[in-house]
Structures are given as C-alpha cells and as structure tokens.
Amino acid sequence: VIRIEEDLRGMHVVVIDDEAVNRRLMERILQEAGFGKITLIADSTRLEQLEEIDPDVICLDLHMPGKDGFTVLEEIRGSLPSLRQVPVLVFTADVSIPSRQKALELGANDFLNKPGEAIEIVLRVRNFLRTRKLYKELESYSLDLENKVQRRTLELYEATEDCLWRLARASEYRDDDTGEHTIRVGVVSSRIARHLGLGAEEVDMIRRAAPLHDIGKIGIPDSILLKPGKLTPEEYAVMRSHVKIGASLLAGSSSKLMLMAEKIALTHHERWDGTGYGLGLSGDEIPLPGRIVAVADVYDALIHDRPYKQAWPQEKAVAEIRSQAGKHFDPQVVEAFLKVVDSSESEIAV
C-alpha cells in the first residue's frame, strides 16, 4: 500500500460515479492511501454544489444515466469558471479510442483504468494534486503580491498628498497660515476640470497640483508680500516674479504631477487676451491647467477677505468672473466654472 505525503492529505478528491460499488472501491483506495477529504457524488445531474465543494481533483465516470461524463466535462471546463483549472481524471473501463480522444478534447487531463490497480490510481491522483498544489500556491502568491502592491500604491499616494499639502502650506504660511486658500483653489480647479470633461486622473492631478500655484511666494520678501498699501511699480515687478520662482522650484521633475504643478505655477497669471504675465501667452497657448487655476484663484480671492479688500458677495464675484470671459479668462473655462457654481459645488468646507 502506498501512502501519500502529508501535505497532500488535506486536498479534496471528488469522485463522480453512478455505481455504488465503484464509489466505495475508490473511497477505500483513497482512504488507505491517506486522503482525508473525499467526496463521492452519485448523481451527475446535481453538480451545482461542485463549485462550493472546491475540489482539487475530480475522478469522473463516463457512462452515467441522466448526464454522462462528457457533458459533465463540458460543464466543468465551460460554465463553471472556478473549476476550469481543476484536473479531471476519467475512468475508463471499456472506452474506445474515439471516446478517449473526445474526453481529452473536452479537457480531461488523464485516464484511470477501471477496475484499476490501487497503486496506479493513487499515484496518478497524487501527481495531479502535486501540480494542483503548486498552482494554488502560485495563485495565492500572486494575489498576495497584488494586494501588497495596491496597499503600497495607496500609501505612496497618501504620502505624496501629505508632502504636497505641507509644501502648499509653506508657500502660503506668511499670508494665510491655515493654507485654506490653496486647498479651495485645488478643489474648485478640479471641479472645473471635471465639467470640462477631463479624465478622472487629470482631474485628480489638478486638485493636487493647483495648491502649489503660489509656491514662488516663498521668494518674495515680507516687505512686499505683507505690505498693506498699494505696491510701487518696482515692488509689483518683484511680486510678479513669484510665478517664475515657483516654476523654477518645481522644474526638472520626472513626475507628471510636478510637471503640471510647474506649468500651473508659471501660467496661472496669464490672461486669455495676452495681457497677463509669466510668459506673456494668450488663448490656447496658455496650458489648460493654468487657465483653470486662474479662474479658481481669482474667484477664491474675491470671495474672501484680503488685507487690501473685504470679501465680495458670491453673486458679485461670479458676475465679475463671467464678465472677464474672453478677456482675463478662457470662455470655456468660465462656462465650466458657472456649472460648478450652479451645482453649488463651489461651496467647500475646509
């Protein structure tokens, strides 16, 4: 009598055979070899439970009333997806060569002689279980790996989010120590982007990159940045340099996100009619993220208190943005912005 290895004993062997004698014989052979999980199925028309049973190998009779072995094979390989990879060994008593070929064609893996030598049956079943076990290990390994990658990706995403938020806060620290303006500009920009029909990835990227639009203010002296009164032309020129300082701080990255942030920093004060600053671009020459952030930035500045002005009521701010379509702002971006306002998505809790 041959005994199978310990690690295979818990694997599930299913025998489908209408004849009780054969089922009992198989059960005895398998039990003596040390198999611990054996399920015998007499009625081949009732295979609904087969997927739940989760077999590791199936020993299948061909001649059965109701539903023969070929039909069962077809079902296992066709309509029962979780069983597609389970090895099927077909009992052959008086099976003709065409029948053998048909069984192989339908996905049988091997044959068991009937009445068979116990040793040969056990060895064949064992060999298929060995492969089955490797397959399962590989499957769980790759699933594990996939989960790990997913978890790490999320961690990385969150770490980046965290860094971006802190960087944005640093950039606004002297004139808005809560950093709320930067977050709001990010959120409104992403909503405008969504209404413009941009893809989900790009929308999310704008939300994350836009808060860095004023990072160049780090390089502007307090005497100018925090000056309560009107700036002189010279001071204003220094103030305007924040777009180039910002772009140079963000330049040279290989990350798509940073590249977008760089573009936004450089172009968020451009104007549709070409009278803005940065590179002095106009119309479509201005990168779309820059055109979007321009609207979100101005709108947010209008509806909040600033050292030099009080907050405007929302309707007045919206009217101002609308009136600047085609002048300061890209008309299509303004249109998308108005949809954001209409759907009251412009209200942001931070």
Given the rule CB under 5 A, which residues bind Fe ion? 214
Q: How far is the CB of 242 from Fe ion (least distance, A)?
A: 6
Q: How far is the CB of 222 from Fe ion (least distance, A)?
A: 17
Q: Which is nearer to Fe ion, 87 or 290 (CB)?
A: 290
Q: How far is the CB of 276 from Fe ion (least distance, A)?
A: 11
CB of 13 closer than 8 Å to CB of 56: yes
H runs (alpha helix) in the chain: 20-33, 50-53, 69-78, 97-105, 118-172, 180-195, 200-209, 222-225, 233-240, 242-250, 256-267, 288-302, 314-323, 331-342
In the chain, the amino acid numbered 131 is T
Whole-number Å distance between alpha carbons of 83 and 87:
9
Q: How far is the CB of 267 from Fe ion (least distance, A)?
A: 10
Torsion of CA 12, 16, 17, 23, to 10 degrees: 10
Whole-number Å distance between alpha carbons of 60 and 73:
8
SS3 at position 159 = helix
Which of 171, 210, 180 has the alpha carbon at shortest distance from 291?
210
Q: Which is nearer to Fe ion, 18 or 214 (CB)?
A: 214
Q: How far is the CB of 193 from Fe ion (least distance, A)?
A: 18
Token pair of 96 as six digits:
């003709």
Whole-number Å distance between alpha carbons of 349 and 138:
47
